[in-house]
Amino acid sequence: MKNNRYGAGWAFLWAALLTTLVGAEEVGYFADNGFGKPLATLHHPSGEYYQGSTYLAYQGPHEDAYVCAYNHLTKKWTGPLLAGVSPMGKTPDPTDNGEVDNHGKPAMMVDGQGYLHVVFGGHGGNALLGTNLLGTPAGIGRGGKLIHLVSERPEDITAWRVLDNISPFGTYPQFVQMEGGAIYLFYRHGTHQSDWVYQKSGDQGRTFAAPVAVLKHQKSAGSEVHDAWYAWFGKGLGDTVTATYMYHPCAYPGHSKARQNVYYMKMNAADGSWENVLGESCEVPITKEAADRKTRLFDSGADRCNHGTCRMDGEGHPHVLFRYKGGQVRYTRWTGRAWTDPVAVISDGEEKGQDGDLVVESPTRVRAMLMRTKGGQHEVGWWSTVDGGQHWEQEAPLFSRPGGGLDIGALIEQGSGRGLVVVSEGRVPEHLYRKMYLLGEKGPVGREAAEASLIQPQLERLRREGARAVPAAKGKAGKEGVEEDD
C-alpha cells in the first residue's frame, strides 16, 4: 500500500539535509510524526517483540497507520513507514484537535509465522458500508472503516496488503493471540450504542469467523438511556481471555461522559463459554442487569470510572487497574475469595493524567507501568508492590518532560527487558504532531536525529501559513470523537 497523501520524498530530502547539518546526533524519540492522540491503552497491542526486533504501530499524519521496527542486536531502526491510509484523515492535517477523530488508532500483532497484522481506521462506518446489525443504525456512524492489513513478508514492514475479512463498523481494536495459534480480534461494533464483539481466526488471521457479541447494548427499561460499554480484553491464564469493562449510560440528546462501575469475566477459548470470577456461567452478550448481578467487582455509584487493564497471576487470579474520578489509577485483585478494596497506586493527591498497564510477578508482587502528572512535570515509570497492593513504591522514572502531557500505550507484548512501552508527547502550541518514544528498562531507546525528524516540511508550511492550534482540551460539544480517554 503506497502513501497517496503527500510526497514521501520530502521526508527523505529533509533527512538527507539534516544528516549534513547535525551528523549523527542522537535524540530520545524515534519519530516526530505521531498525530493527534497517536496511541492509547484501549487500542492494543501497540507493539510486539519478535525474533530480536520490536515492532510498533501508531497514528501518524492524516490519522494514517504507521509502523516502525527496532532491531535490538544491531540497534538500528527501520521506518516509520506508512502501512495504511485512514478514511477519516483530512488534507492538510488540521491544527484544531476538535477536527481529529482519534478513534482509528492502530492495534498490531505478529502472528506465529512472523507476519505483521495491523487493524485501524474505524469509528462506526456509514450507510455505504451496509447495515450494522450489532450496533449503531446505518447512517449515524461517526465514519471511517475498520481495516485489516497484513505484511507481504514475515518480519518486514515495507509492504502491506488489505485483507477484507473483518467487519467495517468496528472501533477500539484489540488483538489477543493464544498459545495454540488462534487469534481473537475484539472491538466495539459501531459507536456508543453498539455491542462489543470478537472475531476469531484459526488460520493466522487470513480468515475470521463472523462477529460474536460479548457485551449487549440496549435501551434501559423505562428510560431513554442506552446501555453502553467500554472494555479491555487480554490474554488470561492458559486458554482463557479476560474482560474488564465499565458501564456507560448513553443518551442522545443530552449525552454525557459518565462511566460507572468496574466489571470482570473471562472466556474459556476451548468452547467459547464465559464465566465470572466465581466460575459461574455468564450468558453472552451479557446485559447490564446480568453484569450487575454476576460480574461487577466495584460499584462506583455516581463517581466516574474508566477503563484500565487486567493481567492474571500464576494461580489464575485477575489483577485489575482502572482509572477513578479525575484519572487516578486504582488497583484491585482477586484473592481467591474476594476482591481487595481498590487502592490508589499513586496516593499523593495527584489525581489527573494517570494511565498505564501492569505486570504480575506473583499474587502479591506486581509492577505497574504508569504515566502521571505532578507539579507540571509528566513522568512514566514503574510503581511496585510486594504486599498485594496495600502499599506501592515509585521506582526511578524512565521518562520525564515538563508541560504538554503524555499519552501511553499498553505494555509491548513479549517486551520485558527489551522495549517496554511506547509513549508520545502531548500538546504543543502550534500543531498536533507528536514525538514518539520507545522506553526500555533504562529509558528512551535513542535514534539519530536525522532519522527521527520527519515532519519539517509540514512544520515549515504551518509557519508560513501562521497556523495556530486550538488547545487540545477544546472540542466540539456533543461530538463523540472528543472524549477524555480517546
Does 23 map to a domain?
yes
Does 95 map to a domain?
yes
Amino acid occupying residue 72: H
Does 206 map to a domain?
yes
CATH number at residue 348: 2.120.10
What is the pLDDT at residue 351? 61
Q: Give how many domains the chain has, as a whole number.
A: 1
* Section 96-113 average pLDDT: 96
Residue among 70, 33, 35 at smallest CA distance from 420: 70
Q: Are 54 and 436 in contact (CB under 8 A)?
A: no
* Section 78-104 average pLDDT: 95
Spatial distance between the Cα atoms of 338 and 402, rounded to a whole number of angstroms:
41
Spatial distance between the Cα atoms of 486 and 134, rounded to a whole number of angstroms:
22
For 155, list phi and psi in degrees, rounded to 5. 55, 35
Range of the domain at 238: 9-465
Does 477 map to a domain?
no
For 10, list phi and psi in degrees, rounded to 5. -60, -45
Does 4 map to a domain?
no
Q: What is the pLDDT of residues 332-389, one digit of tens each?
A: 999 999 999 999 999 866 666 799 999 999 999 999 999 998 888 899 999 999 999 9
Q: Quick one: pLDDT band at residue 464, thresholds 50, 70, 90? A: confident
What is the pLDDT at residue 43? 98
Sheet of 328-333: strands edge to edge? 305-312, 318-324, 328-333, 343-344
* Section 237-263 average pLDDT: 93
Q: Are 378 and 401 in contact (CB under 8 A)?
A: yes
Q: What is the pLDDT of residues 117-169, one digit of tens each?
A: 999 999 999 889 999 999 987 556 788 999 999 999 999 999 999 999 999 99
Q: Does position 480 have pLDDT exceeding 50, yes or no?
A: no
**What is residue 44's three-state secondary structure?**
strand
Does 470 map to a domain?
no
Question: Which residues are annotated as catalytic?
Answer: 103, 172
Does 251 map to a domain?
yes
Does 331 map to a domain?
yes
Spatial distance between the Cα atoms of 109 and 353, rounded to a whole number of angstroms:
27
Cell (9 digits) for 69? 521496527
Spatial distance between the Cα atoms of 124 and 137, rounded to a whole number of angstroms:
9
Instruction: For the full predicted model, state whether its pTM sits above 0.95.
Output: no
